[in-house]
A and B are shown apart, each in its own frame.
Chain A
Amino acid sequence: MSHLPASIDFRANVRQVPPALPAAVQKATAKFLGTRAALVDALGHDVWQALRQAGHDLRLHALDNLDRYLEQAERQVLKAGGHVHWARDAAEAQRIVLDIAGQHRARLAVKAKSMATEEIGLNQALETAGLRVLETDLGEYIVQLKGVGPAHIVVPAFHLSTEEIAALFREKLGVEAPAEAQQLTQIARVKLREEFLRADLGISGANFLIAETGTIVTVTNEGNGRMCCTVPPVHVAVVGIDKVVPDWESLTVLLKLLARSATGQKLSCYTQFISGPPRSEAETGPKELHLVLLDNGRSRILQTAETRETLLCIRCGACLNVCPVYNSVGGYAYGYPISGPTGVLFASQILGAKAAGALPFASTLCGACNDICPVKIPITDILLQLRHRVVEGDAQESAVAPYRLQLAAQLGSFALARPWLYRLGSRLLAWLQAPLRSGDWLLRLPPPFNRWTMARPFPAFAPGFRAWWRSRSHHTRGRS
């Protein structure tokens, strides 16, 4: 996966974050959180909690019976005249799509917004093979022009101002572009319309895959997704195996949760259901439908009891919007197409502790994500398990933390487990701090604790309580 770095250095990435970014991110996330909260309030707390629980339970049921539902979905898609491909990893998924493109001598592929194809670096693979690949979701279109990936899993270019987008259009498209949202959208619309008609291949992901009818469900707010799946002669849907749900009834619960959590809508503008290619000459649409079922580490996640609920995720992005870390650094710092809390869960497990071991620590464990998650993923509990995996290893992977940290932890716990040593250490620190002390504060500490004092002073050690308690007990002895 050449599009991903060998190892993600979150701290280094954070240093690259433009100073103006957090404010832009916060402005956008606050808007989504506000509209979401209003809709949740309108439903009422109890109804919302019941919906979350129902969403959680039915997603978990789908995971517990994943093999059965996937095979059912496959049977239904085949019965409807579609093709089904199973991709073990990113490379296999790329090869499958390349083969389909090759069979049709495709030169231009138009894409609907899809995190699965971002995850496997499909665009790069297709471009390397000589195809032109065009993102048609407005946000994706913009970040593609800019030469970067999505900054948010739902709204890829939400951090860019209309001025920035206008400048980008002028530079890359060579058109007169005023900094006005509607006119910019119109420019993109005209450009894209020509390409839809010319495209040989339409590529999408899916929000859900309904097992009982083999239906691919996409939830969008622009017409582009529908164009991608209906205009070109061939439609390829790349779908993570975690996206399968048992039936249409399940979908009604999940759609309610998804649109509210993602964009603060009761329902998104377009909810599209694709159940196979046209069945007769009278029906229109792509003559060929290919469903690529992507594993890419998901069955490994499924095997780990402590982390498997990662796969409940419906990619609504609410955990990004509410996360104070995401709001401080934006999406790119995570070094992975899926960012924020849920991105950390996927990246650390798909890429492994060695490549993405920095990510589970990019959280204060504040738990705002747990509370907002529409399918009740215990995100911070999974983060804790993934931290444990990084430093001590677990059934899935061996430890990758440096030995000196292991040693420091051992020394620390050794001292803390022995009250006499703990008290001695406490007195020693109170004594050692004298030269650094300025009133009640230590203004500068030696490394690595200077990482604290670079931002604010550290309080001076003041271990006085135990002596106070002893002298008090001495005075009051016999009275109580």
Chain B
Amino acid sequence: MVRRAQLFITCLGDQFFPGVLQRMVGLLERLGVQVGFPAEQTCCGQPFFNSGYWSQARDLAAKWLRVFGRTEGAIVSPSGSCVDMVRHHYPRLFPPGTPEHRLAIETAARTFELTQYLAHELKAIEVGARFPHRVTYHASCHLLRGLGVREEPKALLGGVQGLELIPLPGEETCCGFGGVFSVIYPEVSRTMMEAKVQAIDSTGADVVVACDAGCLMNIAGGLRKAGSPVRAMHLIEVLTAGGGMP
């Protein structure tokens, strides 16, 4: 049986991380998955939902469900946050008993964050990557507490040849991104981000890995501002490395 997966690239992935998405396609295909890309997808509506604009979020959720609802196979995304939106909040946006509510529940059940998909659906922990560097891992909040994914990303990193995983102090503490929070309360966001950057620097790692575009934008920007040599990378970049630094 051919495994099929639809890419849910997320708007942040689409705008800022084309390389991560390309590598994600390569990784899935290497693992024998036939990858599809519904090109009509835009944004899942999470920024609107989290800011309280539920009627706008509902429009975008309905749109997303129209695009992905008619696809087959798993829906896979490189973002815990957007998957959490689809899985846990879409059903809440539509009254029980409506066709959208039913579609939301059906579609949510086959929507996975990448590490969930790799670890639980494909049962692939060693994906043939080689990355001889010191790496530390930041747990993105919605992946960790929204989806309950704690060990999978670290298990995947553990399966990478040559990689030394260094624990990050405060691994599960929020980096201060928080979507609109970073713009509504920039001073608090900065304090939290700076604490995260300091913790990352203290590990002596070459690379910090996370599984969410939002956290990566925040942390990578913070590292650059602090003049830190540490690079922020999406897990996919490490899982597709062949020995060098991408």
Contact = CB atoms under 8 A, between A and B. Distances in A.
A365 B50 contact: yes
Interface string B184-195: 111111111111
Contact of B53 (A22, A324, A329, A391): A391
A364 B141 contact: yes
Interface residues of A, number: 61
Interface in B200-220: 217-218, 220
Interface in A274-333: 324-325, 328-329
Interface stretch (A43-51, A62-70, A130-138, A457-465): A457-465
Given A458-B217, A462-B16, A324 B21 contact: no
A409 B52 CA distance: 10
Contacts of B185: 10-11, 14, 325, 361-362
A107 B13 CA distance: 67
A449 B217 CA distance: 14
Contact of A364 (B21, B178, B190): B178
Contact of A384 (B43, B52, B142, B192): B52
Interface string B62-105: 01000000000000000000000000010000000000000000
Given A324-B192, A413-B48, A441 B224 contact: yes
A366 B179 CA distance: 11
Contact of B51 (A409, A460, A461): A409
B183 interface: yes
Contacts of A260: none
Interface string A349-364: 0000000000011111
A367 interface: yes
A469 to B, nearest CB: 5
Interface in A439-472: 441, 448-449, 451-452, 454-466, 468-469
Contacts of B16: 459-462
A419 to B, nearest CB: 5
A328 B188 contact: yes
B51 A391 contact: yes
A410 B16 CA distance: 23
Nearest to A420: B40
A451 B186 contact: yes
Contacts of A457: 221, 224-225
B80 to A, nearest CB: 11
A422 to B, nearest CB: 4
Nearest to A10: B185
Nearest to A399: B52
A10 B188 CA distance: 10
Contacts of A416: 11, 42-43, 45, 60
A406 B194 CA distance: 32
A465 B48 contact: no
A409 B48 contact: yes
Interface string A121-132: 000000000000
Contacts of A409: 48, 51, 53, 56
Given A455-B186, A455-B222, A466-B14, A384 B145 contact: no
Contacts of B178: 363-366
A388 B52 contact: yes
A389 interface: yes
B34 A412 contact: no
Contacts of B180: 361
B149 to A, nearest CB: 13
A367 B141 contact: yes
A392 interface: yes
The 7 closest A-B pairs by CB, nearest first: A364-B178, A456-B221, A387-B52, A413-B56, A366-B174, A391-B52, A455-B190
Interface of A: 10-11, 14-15, 22, 324-325, 328-329, 360-368, 370-371, 384, 387-392, 401, 406, 409-410, 412-413, 416-419, 422, 426, 429, 441, 448-449, 451-452, 454-466, 468-469, 480
